[in-house]
Amino acid sequence: MALVVQKYGGSSLESAERIRAVAERVVATKKQGNDVVVVCSAMGDTTDELLDLAAQVNPAPPAREMDMLLSAGERISNSLVAMAIASFGAEVASFTGSQAGVLTTERHGNARIVDVTPGRVQDALDEGKIAIVAGFQGVNRDSRDVTTLGRGGSDTTAVALAAALKADVCEIYSDVDGVYSADPRIVPDAQKIEKLCFEEMLELAAAGSKILVLRSVEYARAFNVPMRVRSSYSNDEGTLITGSMEDIPVEAAVLTGVATDKSEAKVSILGIPDVPGEAAKAFRALAEAEINIDMVIQNISSVEDNTTDITFTCPTADGQRAMELLSKLQETNNWENVIYDDQIGKVSLVGAGMKSHPGVTADFAEALRDAGINIEMFTTSEIRITAVVREADLDNATRAIHDRFELGGDEAAQVYAGTGR
């Protein structure tokens, strides 16, 4: 008998009919002899509808009240799922995040889980019940106020519960049946990956894969909770995410997949004095505005005037705020110029096989060259290579890399055997 945590996303719960289908799957898992804990997001458009109502009564609502409002969405979906499960004859009890012992930091709207004390959930399991826990929400330890966990919060709830209950697996259900070697809308022969390690999934998530949010994978890795990405519309086994890349034998290490990201913009600061503390002014201002930056590149100094250029990427959504901040700094510090460009795309190749197989970087660059695509920025980590290209070139770049590393086809992803990194 295993303990299985299952998390269902909003699109899996968009109607009464879909809720009953989810309930049927949950009950089947229980009948196979497993203990089951279910974490649900809010139904379909509930969160958007609540946000819309909030905007109508107050364009800048207090974060504490916003959390009270949004947490109602998961109360609704979770109790409905519990009712549907009961209609199939199983014993069930639903719990709010607070009742399930999900303790968080104080920060409303984007709280972090600091501890999970799922005593009531464990009691329900011990009584033979299926336990339902409202995702995305918790209670902060000092104020005892309702908090929400921000984007991907329900995935994080599921993983944190799985860790606290020492579950055997945390299954994440949505409308896709696994992690693919590339976005199938861009690469028609992209194939589903059976298994990958936490580090690979982290790199894919960081590089733009939307299938799992970074923080839930970080949490799963920290507590060594195996995750499985599955579709609520099929019985496909999906993709298993488990283990460290250290444990993968060199000869089994593969290149996992290609991730793409169109959500970022590129900002360049030109002619900034190459003296200690000058670049820090820019990064401190952006950090204080809570703008995440990525792919920072500083070129070598110009010999003439001892200035340099700095380029980084940041979410397009934060682009305008970033430019306002930097333009002010440009004036007061006499930087030459600040340039903004949101017509870019990021393409990344990820795989634990990279570290043991030289030549991947060269093959990556050649694949883009052969497709006639210019690389504007370029960074690597131990198991990832990322290039920034024109947004218009992104799909072609993705296909070129996917082809070059033979990630497609009907068979399992190939062991990479390139030459000369």
Residues that bind a second copy (CB under 8 A): 16, 19-20, 23, 50, 53-54, 56-62, 64-66, 68-69, 71-73, 75-76, 78-84, 86-87, 92-94, 96, 99, 120, 144, 146
Kindly state the tokens that stand for 99.
């009742």
Cβ 23 to a second copy, closest distance in Å? 8
Q: Quote the CA–CA distance of 333 and 132 in Å, as a whole number.
A: 56
Cβ 348 to a second copy, closest distance in Å? 40
Cβ 305 to a second copy, closest distance in Å? 51
| Residue corresponding to tokens 């360049």 | 268
Nearer to a second copy, 102 or 344 (CB): 102
Cβ 153 to a second copy, closest distance in Å? 17
Cβ 405 to a second copy, closest distance in Å? 46
Nearer to a second copy, 64 or 421 (CB): 64
Q: In Å, how far are 88, 187, 194, 257 from 405, measured between CA atoms?
A: 48, 13, 17, 9
User: Buried (b) or exposed (e) across 207-239, using 16+ Cβ within 10 A?
Assistant: bbbebbbbbbbbbbbeeebbbbbbebeeeeebb
Largest distance between two CA atoms of the chain: 79
Q: Quote the CA–CA distance of 202 and 303 in Å, as a whole number.
A: 40
Nearer to a second copy, 59 or 276 (CB): 59
Alpha helices in 165-301 (DSSP H): 198-206, 214-223, 278-288
Cβ 172 to a second copy, closest distance in Å? 22
Nearer to a second copy, 80 or 387 (CB): 80
Nearer to a second copy, 90 or 182 (CB): 90
Nearer to a second copy, 82 or 220 (CB): 82
Residue 340 forms beta bridges with which residues? 267
In the chain, % helix, strand, coil (3-state, to 5) comes to 40, 25, 35
Nearer to a second copy, 108 or 192 (CB): 108
Nearer to a second copy, 123 or 175 (CB): 123
Number of Cβ atoms within 10 Å of the Cβ of 276: 7
Nearer to a second copy, 73 or 353 (CB): 73
Cβ 131 to a second copy, closest distance in Å? 12
Q: Quote the CA–CA distance of 353 and 365 in Å, as a whole number.
A: 17
Q: Which residues contact 130 (CB under 8 A, 6 or more apart)?
A: 26, 27, 30, 36, 37, 38, 85, 90, 91, 92, 93, 124
Q: Which residues contact 9 (CB under 8 A, 6 or more apart)?
A: 41, 154, 172, 173, 174, 175, 232
Nearer to a second copy, 18 or 192 (CB): 18
Residue 37 forms beta bridges with which residues? 5, 131
Nearer to a second copy, 17 or 290 (CB): 17
Cβ 121 to a second copy, closest distance in Å? 13
Cβ 317 to a second copy, closest distance in Å? 23
**Which of 13, 44, 11, 42 shows the shortest CA–CA distance to 26?**
13
Residue 134 forms beta bridges with which residues? 40
Cβ 22 to a second copy, closest distance in Å? 10
Cβ 58 to a second copy, closest distance in Å? 4
Alpha helices in 172-241 (DSSP H): 198-206, 214-223
**Which of 160, 33, 31 shows the shortest CA–CA distance to 85?**
31
Strands (E) across 317-394 are located at: 337-341, 344-350, 377-381, 384-390
